[in-house]
Each structure stands twice: as C-alpha cells, then as structure tokens.
Amino acid sequence: MHQSVLLNEVLHYMEPQKGAFIVDGTANGGGHAMAISELLGPKGKLLALDWDCELLKKFESRINNKELRIVARCANYAELPEILREEKLGKADGLLLDLGFSSEQIEGAQRGFSFQKDEPLDMRYNLHQPISAYEAVNTLPEKELTDMFWKFGEERFAGRVARAIVEARRQKPIRTTAHLAEVIAEAMPPSYRRHKIHPATKVFQALRIYVNNELGNLERALESLSLVLKRDGRVVVISFHSLEDRMVKNYFRDMKKSGTAELLTKKPVTATEEEIARNPRARSAKLRAIRMCSLVN
C-alpha cells in the first residue's frame, strides 16, 4: 500500500483552511489528498489530478466521505491553467506537487518502473504518451542515449551503457526490465557492480524522466504558478532527486528575489528518522514551500 511521504509537513506548510480550494497535482494513492480534503470540510473543494488514469480510479474508489467536494481528473499538472478554466474553478488557495511515483505503480502496474521485477519495458505514467521506454532504448542513437543517461540520471558511465545497449539490441530487441538491467550491469566496471546501489538505478531513473518528460512538465508548472494561485496561495513541492529539487530551489529563489513569493522553507524539509524507518522511500524526499505575494496579482 502506498504511504504518503511527509504528510504532517505538507499539512503544516499548506495550512488548508475550512472552505478553501486546494489542488493536489499528483494525487497518487490519495493519502495527501484525503488528509487535505478532510481539513477543507464540506464547503471546501479539492481538485485531484493524476496522469495515471488507473491510479486515479483507485483513488476515487477510496473516497468514502460523500460530503467532501473532490473533483478528480486524469490530467497532467503541467496543464493546470487550462484545467482550471475548463472546470470553471478559478485560482486556488494552495497547490501540492508530490513528484514521486506511487508504490502501487511499481507493485501492480506491470509497466516496468523497477528493475527488481521482470516486466515489459514501458515506464509511461499515461499510456497515451507517444514514446515508451522500449521505443527509446531500441531506437534512439547511441549519442542521444548517452546524453539522456548523463543529463537525467547523472550516470558517470553513460557512454559505456549506451554503447552496450546499442550492441545488445543489434542481436535482439530489449523488451523487458530484466534484460535491460542485465545489459547495464555487464557494461559497468566490476568494482561498480559491488556498490550498494544497483548499477541500473540511475539509467532507469533517466529513462523514466525522459519518457514522461518529468522535468519539462515541472518547469511548465512552475512557470504558470501566477496563473494557478491566488494572492497568499501556498505551493508545496516534494522532490525525490537532485534534478527536480535544484529546479524547484532555483525557481523559488528567483520568485523571492522578484518579490512574487515568500520562502516558507529556507532549506529543504526532510523526513524524520521515525518516518524513514516506517517508509524507506521517504529518505530521499525534500519538501520546499512558498507563499505567493500580492505582486503576482
């Protein structure tokens, strides 16, 4: 079962008030969304988005308090300004973006998000996306694979891995996560294979980011905050790797400098040791938050 990361911290920095309108741009398993909605009460409203339509259906099935006003929509948070117009909702009092993917996507989606299971190589959150991990691995030129693994995974042996993938796919297509993980592991120096982190970790991260355009979507969302949030509206973002956190940090810093936002977190907020013991995936989570200032409007 998916466990929501930094739940108490999200509620603290979001400060959801009775009757307010909050957007959860990444509903996932629904833990954050339900906790926020309970605090909003029957006069408040929550817009819950998720790009994974199957995951969103599971979230909707768990809503047992019919008094809560929850609008659930399968959509990408990068399109929030358009979604708010289409739903005639106006600007929000708060926005949450939890950039991690759900444990339910790893356990039951059969889309190849993890090398720990032998599954079809897909990695798409939304199956209507034009390119899958299978297509990327089996069609992109070696240089593009190298650039991807370095840019999105910060993999120091990006070139070796890309070369090994191109050679392997000449023999037969790389169709599964197990096959890809094996090719990656064999491309690494023997000393690297003994590391605690699996040698395929960074390459799988890079592929997932590339296939889902995760950094591009995050950038679009950050650029449109003034179109989404009211004056004094709060934005809470939880990131799980350095590329996301760096982008959020830089955007929030620039907004502070321009007077359009107040930093609520001078440093990223991280999980307690108790939470990490309960939920190891919380170890890499970093939360940053801002309050939109009047100059935005």
Give 2's pLDDT tier (boundaries 50, 70, 90).
low
**pLDDT over 70 (residue 248):** yes
Q: Are 48 and 59 in contact (CB under 8 A)?
A: yes
Nearest 10 degrees: CA dihedral of 225, 226, 231, 232? 30
Confidence at residue 104, expressed as pLDDT on a 0 to 100 scale? 60
**pLDDT over 80 (residue 297):** no
Q: How far is CA 204 from CA 11, 63, 112, 121, 159, in A?
A: 31, 33, 9, 10, 15
Q: Are strands 261-263 and 286-292 parallel, antiparallel or unpaired?
A: antiparallel
Domains of the chain from N-terminus onward? 7-104+215-296 (3.40.50.150), 108-213 (1.10.150.170)
Length of the chain: 297
Q: Are 53 and 28 in contact (CB under 8 A)?
A: no
Q: Are 103 and 1 in contact (CB under 8 A)?
A: yes
- 173/109: higher pLDDT: 173
Could you tell me what percent of the chain has a pLDDT over 70? 95
Joined tokens for residue 216: 């591009």
Write the pLDDT tens digit of every residue in 164-199.
Answer: 999 999 999 999 999 999 999 999 988 876 777 889
Residue 252 neighbours by CB distance under 10 Å = 22
Confidence at residue 296, expressed as pLDDT on a 0 to 100 scale? 43
Query: Which residue's entry shows tokens 């040698």?
Result: 199
Backbone region of residue 250 per phi and psi (left: phi > 0; alpha: psi in -120 to 50; beta: other values): alpha
